[in-house]
Amino acid sequence: MIELQALTKRYGGKTAVDHLTFSVRPGVVTGFLGPNGAGKSTTMRMILGLDNPTSGDVTIDGKHYAQLSDPFTYIGALLDAKAMHGGRSAYNHLLCLAQANRIPRRRVDEVLETVGLTAVAKQRSKGFSLGMGQRLGIAGALLGDPKILMFDEPVNGLDPEGIHWIRNLMKDLAAQGRTVFVSSHLMSEMALTAEHLVVIGRGRLLADTSMADFIEQNSRSYIRVRTPQPEQMRDALTVAGLTPVTVGDGSIEIQDADPAKIGELAAQNHLVLHELSPQRASLEEAFMRLTAESVEYHAGVPGVSGVPAPSDQPAPEQQPAWGANWQQQKQKKGQS
């Protein structure tokens, strides 16, 4: 169990991590999500004692990292794929780490086998691809057979095969009862692997919730209907007790409805349908809305907050995407 207590890191006047309090529970994959620059890596470095917190505290099983004897047997971490001397062979890189933590030499061969680097064990890591470097970093994390594993953006820059491998590895590790704490800036990635979710933005905690709850709160489903007779369709839907909403492109969206029923309704009223599809708003959208105010660097997209659209182009129509105000709704719920 990793516990953070009001953990804070300031660099000069800039606060990278701001009173972060949460804990990473054992036996599940906890996703640590935030936009670039949100303070994820800084938080992870403080967990490992590499950076000193300005204030607050972080412990692993109740101890500070530096108090752990042979720390790799408690917690293994992949912080950055290139945190190794390129002139050293993969085998020797792992050997020096094993020796420092009194891990038997045979573990080096075992983890090289696990990550599939046995064939290049004697080669210097300088010549490794990003994916191979990532695998070597993960081999280092697995070396001490630790109960807790921490990965910082493990899928960054990997090819689909590598991404698939890492996903399965994390699931396997959690299935073995280990604590897995993995950071990402991609919601879609987390949705596939994490059971629990910690979201931060500008160093602040935005959400600490189970993945199931997050999905439930943030991805309501709806039906999209396209028809050349929108007026009649809307009337028919309203008569049937549903609430149709016309969105920017002329299609109609209906919350909490059964597509079969809507199809039957259209047939009864002799309405032509061009589309009838159940929709689910992506978690990515929900995540972006959650972190929108805390994003460090906004891209200069026309029409997006603060950036005026060029006058020769019509500003894109603001679509009233559902769930836009979920935070406020949540607050209201909390108050009631």
Partner 1 sequence: MAAPSAVLQSEWTKVRSVRSTVWTLGSALLVTVILSGLLCLLTNAQWDNFGESDRAGFDPTSSSFSGLLLGQLALIVFGVLVVSSEYSTGMIRTSLAAVPQRGTFYASKVAVIGALALVVGMATAFLSFFVGQALLGDHSTSITDHGVLRAVVGAGLYMTLTVLFSAGIAMMLRSPMLGLGILMPFFFLISPILAAVPGAKNVARYFPDRAGSKIMQVVSINDDRPYGPWAGLGIMLLWVAAALIGGYVVLKKRDA
Q: Which of 7, 79, 115, 206 binds partner 1 (CB under 8 A)?
A: 79
Q: What is the largest CA-CA distance in the chain?
A: 77
95 near partner 1, judged by CB under 8 A: yes
Task: With contacts defined by CB under 8 A, name the span among 82-90, 251-259, 278-286, 291-299 that binds partner 1.
Answer: 82-90
Which parts of 133-162 interact with partner 1 (CB under 8 A)?
140
Sheet holding 55-60, edge to edge: 14-24, 2-11, 55-60
273 near partner 1, judged by CB under 8 A: no
168 to 164, 171, 194: CA distances (angstroms): 6, 5, 12
The least CB distance from residue 18 to partner 1, in Å, is 17
232 to 112, 193, 262, 271: CA distances (angstroms): 66, 44, 13, 8
Q: Which of 1, 55, 70, 238 binds partner 1 (CB under 8 A)?
A: 70
Contact 201, 43 (CB under 8 A): no
117 near partner 1, judged by CB under 8 A: no
The least CB distance from residue 125 to partner 1, in Å, is 9
68 near partner 1, judged by CB under 8 A: yes
Q: Which of 89, 114, 229, 269 binds partner 1 (CB under 8 A)?
A: 89
* Separation between Cα atoms, residue 214 and residue 196, nearest integer Å: 9
* Separation between Cα atoms, residue 67 and residue 325, nearest integer Å: 45
71 near partner 1, judged by CB under 8 A: yes
Sheet holding 252-255, edge to edge: 244-246, 252-255, 221-226, 275-280
Q: Which of 41, 18, 35, 6 is nearest to 290 (CA)?
A: 35
Q: Which of 72, 90, 199, 78 is nearest to 143 (CA)?
A: 72
Task: With contacts defined by CB under 8 A, name the span among 64-72, 113-121, 234-242, 304-312 that binds partner 1.
Answer: 64-72
70 backbone dihedrals φ, ψ, rounded to 5°: 50, 65
The least CB distance from residue 5 to partner 1, in Å, is 19
The least CB distance from residue 147 to partner 1, in Å, is 16
Residues that bind partner 1 (rule: CB under 8 A) add up to a total of 34
Binding characters for partner 1, 27-56, by CB under 8 A (x = yes)? ------------------x--xxxxx----
Task: With contacts defined by CB under 8 A, name the span among 71-79, 169-177, 217-225, 262-270 that binds partner 1.
Answer: 71-79
Q: Name residue, tokens 């573990």.
A: 107
Chain residues in the site for partner 1 (CB under 8 A): 45, 48-52, 65-66, 68-72, 77, 79-80, 82-89, 92-93, 95-97, 99-102, 140
